[in-house]
């Protein structure tokens, strides 16, 4: 790490940290108008800088969030974002210093989890993160999108006009009420909403779906037009639905807007049957799997205790970065016991983090050499212990 100093940034340093991040993502620095959208997106004390002397060489931040874990508990999670290192300071340990500091800070605050989304998957495994849930990016051609006659009608949809603050005032509580019923869903800190608006290069429009019991779905989208052609493309950057009825109502509305050529939805659960809504399933012209949430168990014992288990299992964890997590954990519905002895499975903490939401099986990970099991029976027990009836999904871009 050389002589880098890692410290929380002062308010006055936030704009340069944002600009450093934007430049590292090949985006222009903010002007005053864009800064207005971003200014409120820094949680006090949670944006870090890596300094080489007086110069800001790298930055990363965290927002206070929480995650619904298997069984229904909500666990504190530091949502890490805006990781960037100046091009002329790369590979000198700035990221490593920032990640160590963020993990230590989460531990100090009593947050058992850290979560992030990655630009490059190769970066974060070394810090104990594993890909814990997946999503699908879905494109539908509007002219082919004739709905099956038997498909539920959906409720009423209204456009929500107003300033960013006014829109977020409506959508934020709706999200936290409607979306957090699924394993993997995150509670969104208010700055995460403002950050979403700041990040998008075109204005966002909002819609809200009302079902039999009130508002139960919402979407944020932006339109783009190809010069010389009729029909716009809608990019839906946020799509929240309490249940299938709300999701269908939102799909129906988006595809019924006049002069829309296609609708691209940035994130949907992998188990949503989009093609089956249409008489012609090829209305879905593309469905691409993507990374949803990368997770890091910071306090392994607490995280294991918080989740439900279909059967008892003993897990030997190896965590070079946070060695207090290393050792055998015997998990069951009655809690976690730590101790020595032989374990059913042996995993590095990034692999345990990948298993945690039940989205990947122990057998698959053993097949690619990421996990060792004491016996075929122990491996089968691990599959049963971690498995869930539902597919984990976060659906929050941050
Ligand atoms: C990715 C980035 C943050 C890495 O920062 P950095 O300060 O150079 O990273 P470090 O020097 O701490 O490197 C830590 C380790 O990760 C490796 N690493 C870092 N970035 C990597 C990459 N993009 N691909 C592969 N390995 C990488 C380094 O080689 C090093 O490994 P080593 O210890 O075995 O040598 C930086 O290059 C960057 O800002 N990139 C553009 C923006 C970006 O991608 N941000 C991440 C958003 S999710």
Cβ–ligand 1 distance for 92 under 6 Å, the answer yes
Answer yes or no: are the C-beta atoms of 184 and 132 closer than 8 Å: yes
Judged against a pLDDT cut of 90, whether residue 229 lies above it is answered with: no
Average pLDDT (210-225) is 96
Cβ-based burial of 321 (10 A; exposed 0-12, middle 13-18, buried ≥19): middle
Judged against a pLDDT cut of 90, whether residue 226 lies above it is answered with: no
Flag the least confident range among 195-199, 223-227, 235-239, 310-314.
223-227
Secondary structure (3-state) at 267: strand
Judged against a pLDDT cut of 60, whether residue 351 lies above it is answered with: yes
Helices (H), 230-371: 244-256, 300-306, 349-355, 362-367
Judged against a pLDDT cut of 80, whether residue 304 lies above it is answered with: yes
Domains in the chain: ranges and CATH: 4-116 (3.40.630.30), 135-291 (3.40.630.30), 296-386 (3.30.1050.10)
68-83 pLDDT, tens digit each: 999 999 999 999 999 9
* Percent share of the chain, pLDDT over 70: 99
Secondary structure (3-state) at 78: strand
- The larger pLDDT score, comparing residue 36 to residue 382, is at 382
Average pLDDT (24-41) is 94
Secondary structure (3-state) at 266: strand
Q: How far apart are CA 147 and CA 255, in angstroms?
A: 10
Cβ–ligand 1 distance for 52 under 6 Å, the answer no
| pLDDT for position 1 | 53
β-pairing, 113-116 vs 294-297, is: antiparallel
87-136 pLDDT, tens digit each: 999 999 999 999 999 999 999 999 999 999 999 999 999 999 999 999 99
CA-91 nearest atom, ligand 1: 11
190-199 vs 164-178: helix axis angle to the nearest 10?
120
| pLDDT for position 37 | 86
Closest CA to 240 of 198, 187, 277: 187
Cβ–ligand 1 distance for 90 under 6 Å, the answer yes
Judged against a pLDDT cut of 90, whether residue 180 lies above it is answered with: no
Rounded distance from Cα 265 to ligand 1 centre (Å): 29
Rounded distance from Cα 90 to ligand 1 centre (Å): 7
Answer yes or no: are the C-beta atoms of 252 and 274 closer than 8 Å: no
189-204 pLDDT, tens digit each: 999 999 999 999 889 9
Rounded distance from Cα 308 to ligand 1 centre (Å): 35
Answer yes or no: are the C-beta atoms of 352 and 317 closer than 8 Å: yes
Q: Please, which pLDDT band fits residue 208 given cuts at 50, 70 and 90?
A: very high
> Would you say the C-alpha torsion 370, 374, 377, 383 has a positive or negative sign?
negative
DSSP secondary structure, 112-164, as one string? -EEEE--SSTTTTGGGT-EE--EEEEEEEEGGG-PBPTTS----EEEEE-S-H
Count of C-beta atoms within a 10 Å radius of residue 367: 11
Cβ–ligand 1 distance for 50 under 6 Å, the answer no
| pLDDT for position 3 | 86
Q: How far apart are CA 38 and CA 222, in angstroms?
A: 19
Mean pLDDT of the chain: 96
Average pLDDT (39-63) is 97
Count of C-beta atoms within a 10 Å radius of residue 243: 13
> Would you say the C-alpha torsion 98, 99, 102, 104 has a positive or negative sign?
negative
How far is residue 362 from each of residues 246, 357, 376, measured CA to CA in Å?
Answer: 34, 12, 11
Average pLDDT (167-179) is 95
Give Cα 182 distance to the centre of its chain: 13
């Amino acid at each position: 790490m050389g002589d880098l100093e890692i410290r929380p940034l002062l308010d006055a340093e936030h704009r340069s940290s944002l600009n450093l991040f934007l430049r590292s993502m090949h985006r222009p620095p903010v002007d005053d108008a864009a800064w207005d959208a971003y200014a409120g997106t820094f949680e006090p004390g949670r944006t870090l800088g890596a300094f080489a002397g007086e110069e800001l060489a790298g930055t990363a931040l965290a927002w206070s969030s929480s995650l619904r874990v298997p069984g229904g508990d909500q666990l504190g999670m530091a949502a890490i974002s805006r990781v960037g290192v100046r091009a002329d300071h790369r590979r000198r340990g700035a990221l490593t210093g920032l990640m160590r500091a963020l993990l230590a800070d989460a531990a100090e605050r009593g947050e058992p989890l850290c979560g992030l989304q990655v630009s490059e998957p190769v970066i974060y495994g070394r810090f104990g993160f594993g890909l814990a849930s997946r999503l699908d990016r879905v494109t539908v051609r509007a002219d082919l999108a004739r709905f099956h006659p038997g498909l539920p009608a959906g409720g009423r949809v209204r456009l929500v006009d107003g300033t960013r603050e006014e829109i977020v005032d409506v959508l934020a509580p709706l999200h936290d009420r409607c979306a957090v019923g699924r394993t993997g869903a995150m509670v969104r800190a208010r700055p995460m909403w403002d950050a979403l608006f700041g990040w998008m290069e075109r204005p966002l429009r909002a819609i809200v779906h009302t079902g039999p019991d009130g508002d139960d779905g919402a979407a944020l989208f932006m339109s783009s037009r190809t010069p010389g052609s009729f029909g716009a493309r809608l990019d839906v950057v946020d799509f929240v639905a309490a249940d299938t009825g709300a999701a269908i109502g939102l799909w129906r509305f988006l595809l019924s807007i006049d002069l829309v050529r296609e609708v691209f939805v940035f994130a949907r659960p992998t188990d949503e049957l989009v093609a089956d809504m249409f008489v012609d399933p090829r209305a879905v012209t593309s469905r691409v799997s993507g990374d949803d949430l990368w997770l890091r168990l910071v306090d392994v014992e607490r995280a294991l205790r918080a989740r439900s288990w279909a059967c008892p299992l003993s897990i030997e964890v190896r965590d070079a970065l946070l060695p207090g997590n290393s050792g055998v954990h015997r998990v069951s519905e009655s809690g976690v016991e730590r101790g020595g002895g032989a374990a059913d499975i042996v995993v590095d903490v990034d692999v345990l983090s990948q298993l945690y939401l039940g989205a990947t099986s122990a057998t698959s990970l053993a097949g690619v050499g990421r996990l060792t099991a004491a016996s075929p029976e122990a491996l089968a027990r691990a599959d049963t212990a971690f498995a869930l009836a539902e597919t984990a999904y976060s659906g929050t871009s941050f």
